[in-house]
Amino acid sequence: MSNATTNKSKKLTNPTETEKSNGSDEKSQENDITIALAGNSNVGKSVLFNELTGSNQIIGNWPGKTVERAEGKLLFEGKEITVIDLPGIYSFSTYSMEEIVSREYIAFEQPDVVINVVDASVLERNLFFTIQLKEMKVPMVVCVNQIDLAKQKGIVIDTERLSAALGVPVVATVAIRGEGLHELMEVATEVALNKSKNKITTLKYGAEVEDRIQRITQLIESKNLNLGYPSRWVAIKLLENDPEIRKLIESKSMQIVNSAYDMAREIESIHNEPSFAVIASERYFIANQFANGAQLQSDIKITFAERLDKLVTHRIFGYVISALVVGGLLLWTFIVGDFFSSLLTQAFGFFKPVDPQVSGPIVGILWNGAFGGIVAGVTLVLPFVIPFYLMLSLIENSGILTRVAFMMDSAMHKIGLHGKALIPMILGYGCNVPAIESTRILETRRERLLAAFAITFAPCAARTIVILGLVAVFVSVWWAIALYVIDIAVMFLLGRIALKIVPGETSGLIMEMHTFKVPSISVAAKQTWSRTKSLIYVVFPVYIIGSALIQGLFAYGFLTPVANFLAPITVVWLGLPVIAGVVLIFGAVRKEFTLLMLVALFGTNLAAVLTPIQFIILALVSMLFIPCLATLTILLREFGWKATSSIALANIVTALIVGGIAYRIIGIFM
């Protein structure tokens, strides 16, 4: 971040390379700072993270956890800053792995400063979590983000008054435009470097609650337990009956646990409510006071975003818009992908050879296959995957995706799910693995299992490669769209069947919808690249090496016996070439292998060996067939071998039945 950026509302630029060239690599470790970004979902935290760190990011999982960890670096005024983007959460309870990961990181890793990102337009609701961060006694800066959207609603935030109430620095930002980020980093680094001088004030609750918090705190401190967590925070968690904290203290002192239990019962008898609800009410009361004291009302105008929100959630037009959003996403992918695929195919037409070689020296066979894999990856993968991920990011960041989920709630109930399940199902169109992991946002195992079952039929990016690479390129875009329609119908029908088989009740929908906003192109581009690069790193080597190996195996006759054994199914029932059996088996390892093997064996001009109806049937069966090994692995981890086996068997049976029926019906018209 350049020192020349003195205007506090000026857009943040990515200065990493510039500052590195000025020799700042030689700074001592004393200047290294770790910042954690914490806050609710949909407050612009990820946008802030992307604006600060640019492309200098590492995305992985927390050690021993399935929760995603995002870490990035930047240089600011000679200091190397590591930024950790904690999962979006609403409390430090133990209801989700994200909440446990966040509180353990803050308590045990002890970042130099926590930037608590809050949404200016819903300040009171966000301050509920801010108060919990205060209870953790961490060096903190509050980032009041999206102040532009708040002003559109007639809300102006007095940051100085809010800072005085909270006892921590407060900075206003518009992260999507980079406004206020320089001031935010100035304040954050100052807090991080002067932790010993920062007096962390304690927020007091009502008398009957506060008295018991202090008594438990004193008891904890008298035992010298070295818990890692602040004693006052532990006392509050014991009163809330937090199971993890209760278990931690039980191993050290049952006296504290019993005393806390008795005091929690006393609070419940006074308020005639569970103790955790009483403490939550106390936090909301304080949050309400702080928010009301800091909010200045201006002229309220009905904004375009509010009008759009009413239209998108309208009881009639909302369904039309939801269908247009999902359909538009797919149609955009088909049209744009087909256009770029044609351009790249023509460009690669100048390179020879690209046709398969199944005789001659082994080196020539392998090289020919490897080059064919490169051509297939460039012409059949990238043109379709990149437009899909780009548009998905724009829809996701604009706020439309959550509205679509809300509108689809009643329809999703028909298969035992609610609208929130639509989000992982749409993510399944990118990749089934993270989509199945994201089913954890659902409340019950039954809902997660039903959603995961439906997701295994969602055409992921790999299946999309097969559909578009076979059907959109060699038959027509409209037949590719028809396959998606068939897939949705199959998902709905099987979902209804699974609903009858899997016992249990469907819960209602509780989901926050953040304000509509214009998505950041740069943020969407970074998310697109983050999602695409893993595909490139994995798929391209697989295409190159796999294509060479498959061509070699075929040239030396290893695949023929397998193909002949499966011929009664592939040839007689499905109407496909003999080699299709081996193609489907390879596709069960990774779905791209279906297309990869065909290219390796027959070259990129597949129209010479397959008829239009065979293109359609092969793509359809591959789309519904057993999920890839990575998907089966995540299913096994999340649900066990019985559920995984049942889902895999349902995929195989469905693919073969639907494929055979489709072959006979489509054959009438083609």
Q: Please name which of 473, 433, 429, 466 lies closest in space to residue 329, comparing C-alpha atoms.
A: 429
**Is 393 annotated as a binding-site member?**
no
67 is in an annotated binding site: yes
64 annotated as ligand-binding: yes
Q: Is 241 annotated as a binding residue?
A: no
Q: Is 551 annotated as a binding residue?
A: no
Q: Is 40 marked as a binding-site residue?
A: yes
Q: Is 633 annotated as a binding residue?
A: no
Q: Is 559 annotated as a binding residue?
A: no
Q: Has 338 been labeled as part of a binding site?
A: no
CA distance 183 to 204: 30
Tokens of 180: 């206020």
The CA–CA distances, whole Å, from 28 to 3, 77, 137 equal 19, 13, 28
**Residue 54 marked as a ligand binder:** yes
Question: Is residue 44 marked as binding?
Answer: yes
In DSSP terms, which residues pair with 113 in a beta bridge? 35
DSSP string across 458-512: S--HHHHHHHIIIIIHHT-HHHHHHHHHHHHHHHHHHHHHHHHHS-S-PPPP---
Q: Is 86 annotated among the ligand-binding residues?
A: yes
Helix axes 400-407, 304-312, angle to 10 degrees: 30
Asked if residue 88 belongs to a known ligand binding site, the reply is yes
Annotated binding residue 102: no
Q: Is 146 annotated as a binding residue?
A: yes
41 is in an annotated binding site: yes
457: Cα separation from own chain's centroid: 19
Instruction: Name the nearest CA neighbour of 425 among 416, 415, 438.
Output: 438
Which bin fits 295, alpha (ψ -120 to 50), beta or left (φ > 0)?
beta
Instruction: State both tokens at 500.
Output: 């009858």
Contact 100, 22 (CB under 8 A): no
- 39: annotated binding-site residue? yes
A 10 A CB-CB count for 362 gives 10
Where are any strands of DSSP class E within 345-442?
none
Is residue 288 marked as binding?
Answer: no
Q: What's the angle, vertex CA 577, arms to CA 572 and CA 581, rounded to 5?
A: 80
- Let me know: does 588 contact 625? Beta carbons within 8 Å: yes
Ligand-binding site membership of 114 (annotated): no
- Is 428 labelled as part of a ligand binding site? no
Q: Is 667 marked as a binding-site residue?
A: no
Residue 211 and residue 580: Cα distance in Å, rounded?
A: 74
Distances, alpha carbon 554 to alpha carbons 44, 497, 559, in Å: 52, 41, 6
Annotated binding site for GTP: 39-46, 64-68, 85-88, 145-148
Annotated binding site for Mg(2+): 50, 53-54
Annotated binding site: 39-46, 50, 53-54, 64-68, 85-88, 145-148
